[in-house]
Amino acid sequence: MTPLFAADPAAAFGQFVLIGLVSGLLYALIALGYTMVYGIVELINFAHGDLFMLGCFLSLEVCLLVGARTQSEAGTPAGLAAVALMLVAAPLFCAALNVAVDRAVYKPLRTAPKLAPLVSAIGVSFVFMGVGLFWKGATDVTFPDLLGPRVTDPAAAPPEPANLLDGTGLRFTFKDLMVVLVTLPTMAALTLFVRYTTLGKAMRATAQNPTAAQLMGINVDRVIAATFALGGALAGVGSVVYSLYFNTVNYQMGFQNGVYAFTAAVLGGIGNIPGAVLGGIMIGLVKTLGGAYIGSEWSEALIFAILVVVLIFRPNGLLGARTREKV
């Protein structure tokens, strides 16, 4: 039934807005990695979405290694240890892999025409997807629900998660809160890092003019490697949050989420950190509200129609023209 004919249309609309905001923040978390790399080396790293997928798979391996295999481990020492280890292992793994790809594939093409690294990034994306297919197979894999209520009787139905907005007609769980508490501080920390730290200033100098930055004594290759490491770490953090939120992973998830995240970065102004978050939130809202009120089959068409309209009037994205620096 369409939400327009729900018992409380206002509450239904508010619920879809909440769902859109949370899903948009998830896209934004992935989009931050896109925007960091593009902001420094102007490379659209199409492999970023599949790097995020591999981070999800590594997080699952960490869960299995620690022994947190089912929802019965939620809130237990094994479950908490698994979450903590995932938040360390996945960012380190994705950062190391991203830097390795930069050194092996993108660095030799630094002075080549822009089409060469772009096509190479597409190739790396397919390689990562093949690795994911080999790693976990072609079917969906269940991820342990370590943030839900603990299941004490495996034969019984899982209990409903606690509603933080109980009594308001809306539903907002600890998982939703986790997405907000991870994404917004990450954006703020990343903005402060780029703006005020020595490495952040070196990143901005490299983004403005790599040759001039090198003449000023900045090790441009090291700065670019640090950028790829940071972008990979963001993909790792996003993979942990996504896996704990949706509890299902598969080898194709990187493509779809990567497309949404890249679109979010472009919509907000690629190379602009707050723009990536704004773009992610807009896409999440359009996708959720469009699916609810128009039809899920029109959601993607609606997203890209809005993207085209925005780019016609603001070619640099919503916030791209308002900032002097790319990152």
Banded pLDDT at 153 (limits 50, 70, 90): low
Alpha helices in the chain (DSSP H): 9-41, 48-66, 77-101, 115-136, 174-196, 198-208, 210-215, 220-246, 253-268, 273-290, 299-313
Banded pLDDT at 71 (limits 50, 70, 90): confident
Q: What is the pLDDT of residue 3?
A: 60
Residue 238 placed within a domain: yes
Q: What is the pLDDT of residue 104?
A: 94
Residue 292 placed within a domain: no
Residue 129 placed within a domain: yes
Banded pLDDT at 150 (limits 50, 70, 90): low
Please state, as a whole number, how many other Cβ atoms lie within 10 Å of the Cβ of residue 238: 32
Query: Which tens digits make up the pLDDT trace of 174-216?
Result: 888 989 998 889 888 988 998 899 998 999 898 888 889 888 8
- Arithmetic mean of pLDDT, 104-112: 89
Q: What is the pLDDT of residue 175?
A: 86
Q: What is the pLDDT of residue 256?
A: 86
- Arithmetic mean of pLDDT, 266-292: 88
The more confidently predicted of residues 81 and 97 is: 97
Q: Provide the 8-state DSSP code for 295.
A: I
According to DSSP, the residues that pair with 249 across neighbouring strands are: 141
Which tokens belong to 216? Answer: 């000023």
**Most confident region among 112-116, 131-135, 257-261 by mean pLDDT:** 131-135
Residue 245 placed within a domain: yes
Which tokens belong to 65? Answer: 């290694």
Residue 201 placed within a domain: yes
- Arithmetic mean of pLDDT, 15-19: 91
Residue 49 placed within a domain: yes
pLDDT-above-90 percentage for the chain: 36
Banded pLDDT at 271 (limits 50, 70, 90): confident
- How many domains are there within the chain? 1
At residue 141, the 3 state secondary structure works out as: strand
Q: Which of 228, 210, 197 is nearest to 36 (CA)?
A: 228
Residue 283 placed within a domain: no
Whether the pLDDT of residue 270 is over 90: the answer is no
83-87: Cβ within 8 A, 24+ apart: 83/146, 83/147, 83/240, 83/244, 86/59, 86/62, 86/240, 86/243, 87/237, 87/240
Longest pairwise C-alpha distance within the chain: 67
Domain containing 241 equals: 31-148+171-251
- Arithmetic mean of pLDDT, 152-161: 67
Q: Which of 257, 88, 237, 60 is nearest to 146 (CA)?
A: 60
Banded pLDDT at 70 (limits 50, 70, 90): confident
Residue 298 placed within a domain: no
- The overall average pLDDT reported for the chain is 86
Give the global pTM.
0.88
* Spatial distance between the Cα atoms of 87 and 73, rounded to a whole number of angstroms: 17
Banded pLDDT at 307 (limits 50, 70, 90): confident
